[in-house]
Structure 1
């Protein structure tokens, strides 16, 4: 078994190289893989674009070798094709040299003049394997391509780092990227994701069985990732079987965030939900909530007493709770109670500079849900890492918690190195209260006994699914009310895999 579902696995450039080598060692020649890759790119182009004047930019390695195949196959299909080689054809070695020798069309100097009259550009320069900044000749070509031409990238737009999505000095912006066997993290992580365009993952003859040897840790987030642990509604089930989520409110003027989290926990299936706060806050909460219960709780000691009932098995601490020692004490009391915890918003800022205390006192599942600013305060030594995925993985290993690093390319990381990159979140999710809803969703799934990594991944995916299709004007309250739609979408996925009860 691999650490992640085979159909969602993402491969680093090193892991993709191992997949190639394992396949070649298994008896499939490298030239066959290259021919298959070039054919896949050409087929994707033929399915989308009419015949037109095309320039294929070929690099010095295997990505360039794929490009020579693309050129040959497009020419056979009736395209007017020329190639422009970054390195002299005579200097090519290995499989790339074999494919270049099969090209019988024009080879133009690698300079912007080669673009004249060409409306479709195939970028086969470097792909995901680039490990240095682009040189000036390539940067001039990128600038000359501009915005008036269609660009198809072979594997990944040249200039985008396949492992972390960073830009190496500059990069092509593709309309279409065709990668092979499995996508790379750089396809899903910003800023690389913005350069990728439509992504096609093509089968080129590499058996999925090689994943058993590679054991990738990164995955695209989706229902298959959390299918085995997703709560099943049993015919003989009872609300007490589905856990009890507790959300802690701030003061009387700051109850809304906890109420959003509580309703989200209820909507996602927590059998019982309570929102708790001091006397003034409890009166405000009681005026707004019906199915969610309300309790007056006085300070950290009161929280400890409330959570001493072990049926209250999940707690969400932080949304509008206030920053300071009291919120930090609430976090410690929740950890001491042994319930699964979600620490969000003010809980994270309150822990800045002393978070190691929480890591030591953790006795059950803990999920942290920072945005970039909160992450920088909580993990200042990690905030300079190059990608959201790298930061999330490092923070999970340091804290022993599951870390949900929020953003357009939200990353969910586990202490064992697993990382899920989410890509279904529309920009409308950038609205007040959206994060409070997410925290409540995670808490509600933890209450239903989902493991922390799977609960966080499921909540993030469902969060995006609830927002999709709504359009402009989405507010946090809408997200909560659309959760039944998202849950049905997830259940349909799971039924299709034979995993829903």
Structure 2
């Protein structure tokens, strides 16, 4: 089943629904605290630990964790920012039945620290002793476990709330990830994230998901036993002029590797020879005008336009020609910037099967001010998708894929090695290659982004874009094996 990412409000509703259905809030807190204690014990041997408890339910989780760790023989010191202020926190504090110290803003020496000061629902900056503690704890993140979110990180935006925030090596959260766990800089502040099941159910099906095979794997376009190359989809990629051809070849090779049956690189006549010298299984055909491009693309299922295509009116005309064919378009790089002066003209040519793949700079050119005015990247990508009437993939370490109908997914497997020239051209080819095989464009964008990141992580240091298509088969084989032998 797809895994939802829940906002702070949605999480509160799930908690309230469980209580209304008969599960006491204290039972939920006990499950959360015990689950967090188990996660801590699974990662660290017994050692001195200081638990920082806030006055609310996050602090209550801390008191429960303290009790369960002490039962297992851990030396535990509890430090409270303030007396318990919520009913559940008071219940948990009473059952601690041991000394509670005042919070030491200078950080008491210990081998491990549990941050149970404030959770995802915090809406104000850290202040007083909590702010002093965050300052003193800088550099200690490898020894900190955060409960729900690191204190000071906004649960819905992933940003520090107007000031400092703690950071952790491990964040233990409950039921579902929140946006803070997947969006930068919160994702980095959280470290590893473990989600503990405490017996909640989603009150309503959300439209924000973790991007992994649970979201789109059941609809992946695997070939049938009687498949032939034409049945697996025709993909076209538009090349630039003679000295700007490599990016398009990267897209074409990526589309072929991801499974498109026939991939053709459409090339200006002056670039034919240089492209021919580098192509094997990718076919090559010339075009001189936008009308000729449209004729060549008449039977294509998908097309990539933009990688080193050239800036200006010619690329804009070529995109218009492709849009008239009905092929699913993946619009990248130069094709995006060629409409920076008139984004609405681009949007008028798109439909819901097309995919825009901007990095933040290109996004700003098409949707001026949106990244700054939106509360976070998810909201910005969703608004952009509605405005464009197409799928928008906003690149970054926390890549967001959004559809005009409000669906959105966030990549959790981003790899820093992908920050290299040509990487985005390969991503465009992966997405278009999947769309050419008949995969829904939102699913294709999600799957392409996930596979792309898996390839980057598999290679690691030293990655260049040319490596990426050749890494895809191992990722695809793993997906195929998982399909044949699903985990219980």
TM-score, reference length from structure 2 = 0.96
Answer yes or no: is 1:357 the counterpart of 2:349. Answer: no
Residue 448 (structure 2) aligns with: 459
Structure 2 Cα separation of the partners of residues 364 and 195 of structure 1: 35
Report the Cα offset of residue 363 of structure 1: 4.0
Deviations 1:34-80 (A, max 9, x none): 01111111111222223333221111211111111111222222222
Answer yes or no: is 1:382 the counterpart of 2:370. Answer: yes
Answer yes or no: is 1:265 the counterpart of 2:258. Answer: no
Answer yes or no: is 1:319 the counterpart of 2:307. Answer: yes
Q: Is the 8 A contact 1:67 1:124 kept in 2?
A: yes
Deviations 1:109-158 (A, max 9, x none): 22325x32333211111111111222242121112223247111111111
Structure 2 Cα separation of the partners of residues 62 and 363 of structure 1: 47
Q: Is the 8 A contact 1:82 1:105 kept in 2?
A: no
Residue 70 (structure 1) aligns with: 65
- What aligned pairs does 1:240-389 form with structure 2 within 5 A after superposition? 240-307=230-297, 309=298, 311-363=299-351, 365-384=353-372, 385-389=374-378
Secondary structure, aligned partner of 2:324: helix
Answer yes or no: is 1:119 the counterpart of 2:108. Answer: no
Residue 179 (structure 2) aligns with: 185
Count of matched residue pairs: 485
Q: Which stretch shifts more, 121-130 or 49-58? A: 49-58
Structure 1 Cα separation of the partners of residues 183 and 398 of structure 2: 6
Secondary structure, aligned partner of 1:468: helix
Compared CA separation, residues 453 and 363, structure 1 to 2 (3 A): closer
Q: Is the 8 A contact 1:124 1:153 kept in 2?
A: yes
Structure 2 Cα separation of the partners of residues 498 and 250 of structure 1: 45
**Gaps in structure 2 of 5+ consecutive residues:** none
Q: Is the 8 A contact 2:105 2:129 kept in 1?
A: no
Secondary structure, aligned partner of 2:109: coil
Residue 145 (structure 1) aligns with: 137
Secondary structure, aligned partner of 1:14: helix
Residue 50 (structure 1) aligns with: 45
Report the Cα offset of residue 471 of structure 1: 2.3
Superposition RMSD in Å: 1.7
Deviations 1:279-308 (A, max 9, x none): 11122211211211111101322212222x
Residue 446 (structure 1) aligns with: 435
Structure 2 Cα separation of the partners of residues 494 and 267 of structure 1: 19
Q: Is the 8 A contact 1:18 1:214 kept in 2?
A: no
Aligned pair partner of 1:88 in 83, 86, 100? 83
Deviations 1:303-329 (A, max 9, x none): 12222x2x2121100000111111111
**Gaps in structure 1 of 5+ consecutive residues:** none
Structure 1 Cα separation of the partners of residues 384 and 53 of structure 2: 39
Q: Is the 8 A contact 2:332 2:356 kept in 1?
A: yes
Structure 2 Cα separation of the partners of residues 183 and 223 of structure 1: 17
Q: Which stretch shifts more, 162-171 or 31-40? A: 162-171
TM-score, reference length from structure 1 = 0.93
Residue 210 (structure 2) aligns with: 220
Compared CA separation, residues 364 and 49, structure 1 to 2 (3 A): closer
Report the Cα offset of residue 460 of structure 1: 0.6
Compared CA separation, residues 254 and 445, structure 1 to 2 (3 A): same
Residue 96 (structure 2) aligns with: 103
Secondary structure, aligned partner of 1:374: helix
Answer yes or no: is 1:159 the counterpart of 2:152. Answer: yes
Secondary structure, aligned partner of 1:102: helix
Secondary structure, aligned partner of 1:321: coil
Q: Is the 8 A contact 2:371 2:377 kept in 1?
A: no
Deviations 1:363-398 (A, max 9, x none): 461100001111111111312134322221111111
Residue 408 (structure 1) aligns with: 397
Answer yes or no: is 1:60 the counterpart of 2:46. Answer: no
Structure 1 Cα separation of the partners of residues 28 and 352 of structure 2: 47
Deviations 1:209-228 (A, max 9, x none): x32x3211111111121123
Structure 1 Cα separation of the partners of residues 264 and 195 of structure 2: 45
Secondary structure, aligned partner of 1:365: coil
Q: Is the 8 A contact 1:223 1:493 kept in 2?
A: no
Q: Is the 8 A contact 1:263 1:440 kept in 2?
A: yes
